[in-house]
């Protein structure tokens, strides 16, 4: 089986070649710089960039894998959720290619694919084999667009336990960073500045930490940072205080994510936790998850940094598994589903 997958749900144009659980290539063209000057992703611009990048990215993925279109057995693409016109570009290009090659086409749920990304090796090895040994597991998906906890019961079987009721964790990093005058996306900058800051310098709320559910809320934390800066305007003139502020905000976000994930794992009697999504690049979060899992003797599986952010490799890996499990393929009447929620 040789499969070409596309991912265009937001601001990454990605194509990957996957074969027998191995990632032969995974090309990602990020649009971060383009959207930075607007302080967030502009859907119309994202769609135009996808259109421009899709063919070069697909060509590069095939060249790196050493294959031609005629070698493909199937084509896959993200069907949803995501920005409608961004999804449309990758989904329709993939469908057209599959139609022309007379090969199966399969549309993939973006969040379901994230559940597999911690089990993928970015290149070559078939690390996914481990996946069977660690079911059930609790998967934390945490990025700029989504924050959710999912119980992965077995292959292709999962249940969403909770999610954010307002802002996603990455959005909280980005919006609080903006209040501090940091560039977009602020998450990686806060991560870097927090390294030399004091996480106990300022006390911010830990939203929903003590609620008996698996939901998250980050908009209140953002508001409290806004008021804190309004009431302490000179703070932003002092680089060390900015580093302390970054460390304090990061520590509030990380504590909520880690404690709620651990609590869900214990309640469900699960011995393995996985994490993926852009915020999983955060060093504070990676370290805190490692420490907590070690303490509670839970196996931790973090996505490789290059696979934390959106990529076509995870779309391809899941698509191949679905095809092998004879899950009905979307064929050519499938349409994008921008608001598709994971069950």
Q: Is 78 in the site for ligand KG4 (CB under 6 A)?
A: no
Minimum CB separation of residue 92 from ligand KG4 in Å reads: 21
Subset of residues 205 to 264 that bind ligand KG4, contact rule: CB under 6 A: none
Q: Give the nearest distance from C-beta 73 to ligand KG4 in angstroms.
A: 28
> What is the closest distance, in whole angstroms, from the C-beta atom of residue 193 to ligand KG4 in the complex?
11
Q: Which of 49, 167, 244, 310 binds ligand KG4 (CB under 6 A)?
A: 310
CA distances from 183 to 12, 95, 139, 207, 234 (A): 19, 37, 29, 25, 19
Examine residue 311 and tell whether it contacts ligand KG4 (CB under 6 A).
Answer: no
Tokens of 274: 């996985």
State the Cα angle at 291 between 289 and 293, rounded to 5°.
65
Tokens standing for 342? Answer: 């994971």
**298: helix, strand or coil:** coil
Residue 112 contacts ligand KG4 per CB under 6 A = no
Q: Which of 174, 214, 304, 320 binds ligand KG4 (CB under 6 A)?
A: 174
Nearest distance in Å: CB 141, Zn ion:
7
Local structure of 129: helix, strand or coil: helix
Nearest residue to ligand KG4, using CB?
278
**Measured from the CB of residue 294, what is the shortest distance to ligand KG4 in angstroms?**
21
List 21, 90, 278, 316, residue binding ligand KG4 (CB under 6 A)? 278
Instruction: Tell me if 310 contacts Zn ion by CB under 5 A.
Output: yes
Please check whether residue 316 is in contact with residue 73, taking contact to mean a CB–CB distance below 8 angstroms: no
- The span from the CA of 163 to the CA of 341, in Å, is 11
Q: Which of 90, 100, 285 is nearest to 191 (CA)?
A: 285
Q: Which region among 91-99, 115-123, 149-157, 271-279 touches ligand KG4 (by CB under 6 A)?
A: 271-279
Asked if 10 is part of the footprint of ligand KG4 (rule: CB under 6 A), the reply reads yes
Say if strands 22-30 and 137-142 run parallel, antiparallel, or are unpaired.
Answer: unpaired
Q: Half-sphere exposure (CA, 13 Å, Cβ side) for 209?
A: 14
- Nearest alpha-carbon partner for 226 in 165, 177, 260: 177
Query: Cα(233)–Cα(80) distance, rounded to whole angstroms?
Result: 42
Q: Give 144 or 207: the residue with its C-beta nearer to Zn ion.
A: 144
Q: Which of 54, 65, 140, 281 binds ligand KG4 (CB under 6 A)?
A: 281
Residue 15 or 62 with smaller CB distance to ligand KG4: 15
Chosen from Zn ion, ligand KG4, none, partner binding at 170 (C-beta under 5 to 8 Å by type): ligand KG4
Q: Exactly one of 80, 90, 170, 207 binds ligand KG4 (CB under 6 A); which one?
A: 170
Axis crossing angle, helix 239-268 with helix 283-295, rounded to the nearest 10 = 40
Instruction: Report the phi/psi class of residue 102: left, alpha or beta, with left for phi > 0 and alpha for psi in -120 to 50.
Output: left
Chain contacts with ligand KG4 (rule: CB under 6 A)? 10, 143-145, 170, 173-174, 185, 187-188, 191, 277-279, 281-282, 309-310
């Amino acid at each position: 089986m040789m499969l070409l997958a596309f991912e265009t749900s937001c601001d990454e144009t990605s194509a990957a070649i996957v074969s027998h659980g191995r990632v032969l290539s995974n090309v990602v063209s990020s649009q971060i710089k383009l959207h930075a000057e607007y302080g967030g992703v502009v859907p119309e611009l994202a769609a135009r960039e996808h259109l421009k990048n899709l063919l070069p990215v697909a060509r590069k993925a095939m060249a790196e894998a050493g294959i031609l279109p005629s070698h493909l057995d199937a084509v896959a693409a993200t069907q949803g959720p995501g920005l409608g016109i961004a999804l449309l570009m990758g989904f329709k290009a993939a469908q057209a290619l599959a139609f022309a090659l007379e090969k199966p086409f399969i549309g993939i749920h973006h969040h379901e694919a994230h559940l597999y990304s911690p089990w993928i090796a970015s290149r070559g090895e078939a690390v996914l084999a481990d996946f069977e040994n660690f079911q059930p597991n609790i998967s934390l998906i945490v990025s700029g667009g989504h924050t959710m906890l999912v119980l992965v019961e077995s292959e292709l079987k999962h249940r969403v336990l909770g999610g954010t009721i307002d802002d996603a964790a990455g959005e909280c990093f980005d919006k609080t960073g903006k209040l501090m005058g940091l560039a977009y996306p602020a998450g990686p900058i806060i991560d870097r500045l927090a390294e030399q800051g004091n996480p106990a310098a300022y006390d911010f709320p830990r939203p929903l930490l003590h609620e008996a559910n698996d939901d998250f809320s980050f908009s209140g934390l953002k508001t409290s940072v806004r008021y804190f800066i309004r009431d302490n305007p000179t703070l932003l003139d002092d680089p060390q205080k900015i580093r302390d502020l970054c460390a304090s905000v990061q520590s509030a976000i990380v504590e909520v994510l880690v404690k709620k994930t651990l609590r869900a794992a214990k309640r469900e009697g699960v011995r393995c936790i996985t994490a993926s999504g852009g915020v999983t690049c955060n060093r504070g979060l990676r370290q805190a998850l490692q420490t907590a899992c070690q303490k509670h003797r839970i196996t931790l599986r973090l996505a490789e940094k290059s696979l934390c952010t959106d990529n076509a490799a995870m779309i391809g890996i899941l698509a191949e598994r679905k095809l092998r499990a004879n899950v009905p393929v979307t064929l050519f009447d499938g349409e994008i589903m921008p608001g598709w929620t994971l069950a």
